[in-house]
């Protein structure tokens, strides 16, 4: 079994609904980066490529609805992590998150690592596939 350490490029982010339909909440061509360091730190950012541009105004001048639409197509967090390769589990200890309520939480992910492909399951119905950056 390989190691999670390194940089990973997002390939896909898919959810499966109870009726079996596949959904792509970040669109068909999302962009993202996931980094695991050998010193135990991690960082991840994921976004829709088709997020609308904000007007060229200061943050205070932009409307709440516009900000909500843009942030709805983006997620990011960072912190430390622990991997349990025997049980295919990684736990992200969140220190910084786009959603303040997630700060301080431990986000447990089941994972499969095969060659340069990493699949993380935040939930049993949500699969996030990554490709190792060489």
Expressed as residue numbers, the domain containing 105 is: 6-54+61-132
Q: What is the pLDDT of residue 58?
A: 82
Model confidence, pTM: 0.89
Q: Is residue 1 part of a domain?
A: no
Res. 2 pLDDT band, cuts 50 70 90: low
Q: What is the pLDDT of residues 7-55, one digit of tens each?
A: 999 999 999 988 889 999 999 999 999 999 999 999 999 999 988 788 7
Q: What is the pLDDT of residues 75-130, one digit of tens each?
A: 999 999 999 999 999 999 999 999 899 999 999 999 999 999 999 999 999 999 99
DSSP for 42-110, please give it: EEEEEE-TTPPPPPSS-GGGS-HHHHHHHHTTEEEEEEEEEEETTTTEEEEEEEEESSGGGTT-EEEEE
Structure token digits, residue 41: 């730190």
**Separation of alpha carbons 93 and 9, rounded Å:** 21
**Separation of alpha carbons 38 and 69, rounded Å:** 35
Whichever domain contains 95, its CATH number is: 2.40.128.280
What is the domain count for the chain? 1
């Amino acid at each position: 079994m390989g190691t999670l350490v390194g940089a990973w490029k997002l390939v896909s982010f898919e959810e499966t609904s109870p009726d079996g339909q596949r959904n792509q909440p970040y669109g068909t061509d999302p962009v993202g980066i996931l980094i695991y360091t050998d010193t135990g730190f991690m960082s991840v950012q994921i976004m829709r490529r088709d997020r609308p541009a904000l007007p060229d105004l200061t943050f205070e001048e932009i409307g709440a609805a516009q900000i909500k639409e843009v942030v709805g197509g983006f997620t990011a967090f960072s912190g430390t992590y622990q991997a349990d390769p025997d049980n295919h589990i990684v736990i992200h200890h969140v220190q910084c998150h786009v959603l303040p309520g997630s700060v301080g939480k431990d986000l447990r992910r089941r994972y499969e690592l095969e060659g340069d492909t990493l699949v993380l399951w935040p939930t049993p119905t949500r699969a996030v596939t990554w490709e190792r950056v060489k």
